[in-house]
Structure 1
Amino acid sequence: MCLLSVMFLIPYILMIKSGQAPMHLLVTRVGPCHNQEKNILKVSEFSVTTQKYDSKLSGMVHISENIGNGWKIKATMNKCADIRNTDSCDFFKSFFVINNGCSSNDNESDLYSTLFNYTIPKIKCPLQAGTYKLQNYPFHSDDNYVTAFESKTTTSAFGYTCRLDGFSVYKKKLKKIFCAEIYLEVLYRRHHAWSTITNNQPSTDQPDNSREFVDENK
């Protein structure tokens, strides 16, 4: 199912034209909801491997029953003053990412077809019961169009949570079939001009505890 493929949309979901410095979105967690019910599609806690601006995700997906076409996925996002403490999170936005999954008139198939190519065995429509391994699914989180609400992030762990709820449709009624969560930490990107660095100590008049991601290749 389109479980993690919606992650590539997150930089665009967060897009804010403020003219501030670009952000890097660091994936810190992908896994089941903490209050997950007995859903027919369950995910494991995913491993996250990060190199520079890119992350790769690996984990298990178990489907206990066949899932008919027409499934839906709803995303609920919160913005967090400190991603390490979900009590600091406030509602940001909620919307349906997928409205008619695996149907013949599905215009959103690109969102999950790429994900299917990274599963073993390969997931196909309609979704069949079984256990699947997602291996090294790439999440490119470097996006120069993502900017912060403030001129700089105000804590060392400002971020977002994204809850994905999946539903099947039976007799025009929605039945919840899965729930997964994604945690993203926002890092302020700063390009160093190493040749201009002197031995002068930085001023401590205005302490800055924002976390900065240094790109040495720039």
Structure 2
Amino acid sequence: MTLEPFPTDWKRALVLMAHPDDPEYGTSAAVAEWITQGKEVSYVLATRGEAGIAGLPPQESGPLREGEQRTACCRVGVDVLEFLNYPDGRLTESLDLRRDLAAAIRRHRPDGIVTLNHRDTWGPGKWNSEDHRALGRSVLNAVADAANEWIFPDLEGPRHEVKWTAILSMNPTHAMQVSEESIEKAILSLAAHSRYLQALDSRPVEEQATEQVRWATSRNSGDSGTPAVGFELYGL
């Protein structure tokens, strides 16, 4: 299937995801490319990922993972990182989450939103976590909420309508082509989550990061072979 090229007529994007490291599995290559082009990209994460490292208590893991995410942001050129302080592993599709996401959209006033797969799986035999599903579905609803002055009338700022919402999906519709330089930045950004990756796999962190990012940017390269990150776009 031939994917459509990613839109170019925008200046500001907001990445809304559940945990530290979520933006680094492919999305960060697109982020690095956009920032190189002069676009603005900010991150808002629902949790600090404090339940993500086996054997490390949340009170230690949360600050560590926040620090790793700040380093990851620096490596692709993202200056703005915010956390909504929801509990890791216990995200639900609540009105509170929708309200906070809609507030973030109004606060940052992006042209487009980037978020994670909200479906049950990442493909055959690969279950998607409830945090990802709840966050992704809540983002899609919050996009509409941010544009409606009557759903959460207590929100500060005027309503805001985005042009598109891009989902890092196994069923992409659009491809964002990325350079080798952006891929290298993305690998470094994922490798910044070193303590987290060490808990997942005994292989060297750099090897894990390279494998993940190279796979994410090669699977949607198409006939031309040009590396690209695939997104499923809503709202165009």
Settle same-fold status: TM greater than 0.5: no
In our comparison, the structure showing a higher alpha carbon Rg is: 1
Compare the two structures and name the one with the higher helix fraction. Answer: 2
Q: What's the TM-score once normalised by structure 1's chain length? A: 0.29
Q: What's the TM-score once normalised by structure 2's chain length? A: 0.28
Compare the two structures and name the one with the higher strand fraction. Answer: 1
